[in-house]
């Protein structure tokens, strides 16, 4: 586009004010600056927009044609700015969120009703993936990631953390006995992750120090799969509180080796691209999630 919005605004101001000097007062500019802006616009367009005399300014036919369309452009920009301001006060639009399946099921899904009631103009799109995704490729606004973050060009906001515990079902313990020391885990069926390997170091204090590396009898890529296996009595598992709070409250899973457990917490971060100010639909979601997660982790 040859013409700038400032130049269009100057043209409209000159016509509305009736003179270059009056337009300068209205715009808070010097008379020479307004005159140069008009001349620059005419030069870009290759035509005369206004006839100038010592007593008056008058639009040419080309000027009338151009101004009518310039006003529409200025009105559209003003309307867009007003709508954007409204979106800041009343966030709206589509918000694409990605999270691992267990976090989606146990944390996000129970909180979605409250969020949607508070922000009815935001259209949520929830996607699950147990692998790290590329936000641009997957057209994702926010990804929620559990555990220590790798170095990244993405912005990250910490949302909270959840404690890790070693758990088993009452049925498993009734059949195989409850371990009383960490070293006795070698005689039990241990449920571990296929990746990352760091999740197979359990938060236990033993003769070798803090952190007990397990050898899995059965492995899975998803924490939810391991939870279901533990509920079915297939072995002991180390999982985050966000996924097992109800199981522990109901007695479906019980903590073992509590006195040997090191207070280890799994951090949760929101990651996103941010080139300028964060969109209100994203910031309000993160604020809401951080507040609700604080209640869950309390």
**What is the 3 state secondary structure string of 85-112?**
HHHHHCCCEEEEEEECHHHHHHHHHHHH
pLDDT above 60 (res 17): yes
Which residues lie below 8 Å from residue 34, measured CB to CB, with a gap of 6+? 10, 13, 14, 20, 23, 24, 27
Does residue 147 or residue 159 have the better pLDDT? Answer: 159
- For 175-185, write each residue's pLDDT tens digit: 999 999 999 99
Parse the chain into domains and list their residue ranges.
5-89, 93-159+268-297, 162-266
- Top CATH class of 162-266 equals alpha beta
Alpha carbon distance 241, 255 (integer Å):
11
Does the domain at 93-159+268-297 match CATH 3.40.190.10? Answer given as: yes
Answer whether 5-89 and 93-159+268-297 agree in fold: no
Give, as one character, the DSSP assignment of residue 261.
B
Alpha carbon distance 48, 50 (integer Å):
6
Alpha carbon distance 198, 78 (integer Å):
53
* Its pTM surpasses 0.85: no
Residue recorded with tokens 């009734």 = 174
Report the sign of the C-alpha dihedral through residues 61, 62, 63, 67, in that order.
positive
State the pairing for strand pair 236-240/190-193.
parallel
Mean pLDDT (the chain) is: 88
Architecture label for domain 5-89: Orthogonal Bundle (1.10)
pLDDT of residue 30: 92
Label residue 209 exposed, middle or buried (CB < 10 Å: 0-12, 13-18, 19+).
exposed
Lowest mean pLDDT among 17-21, 39-43, 243-247, 268-272: 17-21
Lowest mean pLDDT among 23-32, 123-132, 259-268: 123-132
Please give the backbone phi and psi of residue 226, each rounded to the nearest 5 degrees, phi first: -65, -40
Provide mean pLDDT across the span 27-45: 90
pLDDT above 90 (res 264): yes
């Amino acid at each position: 586009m040859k013409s700038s919005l400032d130049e269009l605004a100057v043209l409209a101001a000159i016509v509305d004010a009736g003179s270059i000097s009056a337009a300068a007062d209205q715009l808070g500019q010097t008379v020479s600056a307004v005159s140069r802006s008009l001349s620059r616009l005419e030069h870009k367009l290759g035509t005369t927009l206004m006839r100038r005399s010592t007593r008056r300014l008058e639009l040419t036919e080309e000027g009338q044609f151009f101004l009518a369309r310039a006003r529409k452009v200025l009105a559209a920009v003003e309307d867009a700015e007003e709508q954007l301001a409204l979106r800041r006060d009343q966030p709206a639009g589509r918000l694409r969120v990605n999270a691992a399946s267990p976090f989606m099921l146990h944390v996000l899904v129970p909180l979605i009703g409250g969020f949607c009631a508070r922000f009815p103009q935001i259209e949520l799109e929830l996607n699950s993936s147990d692998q790290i995704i590329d936000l641009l490729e997957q057209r994702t606004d926010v990804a929620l990631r559990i555990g220590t973050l790798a170095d990244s060009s993405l912005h990250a906001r910490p949302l909270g953390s959840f404690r890790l515990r070693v758990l088993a079902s009452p049925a498993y313990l009734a059949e195989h006995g409850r371990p009383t020391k960490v070293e006795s885990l070698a005689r039990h069926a241990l449920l571990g992750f296929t990746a990352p390997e760091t999740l197979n170091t359990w938060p236990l204090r033993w003769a070798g120090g803090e952190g007990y590396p397990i050898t899995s009898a059965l492995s899975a890529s998803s924490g939810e799969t391991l939870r279901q296996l533990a509920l079915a009595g297939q072995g002991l598992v180390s999982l985050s509180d966000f996924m097992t709070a109800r199981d522990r409250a109901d007695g479906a899973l019980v903590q073992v080796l509590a006195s040997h457990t090191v207070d280890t917490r799994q951090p949760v971060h929101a990651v996103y691209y941010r080139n300028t100010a964060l969109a209100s639909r994203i910031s309000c979601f993160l604020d809401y999630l951080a507040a609700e997660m604080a209640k869950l982790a309390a």
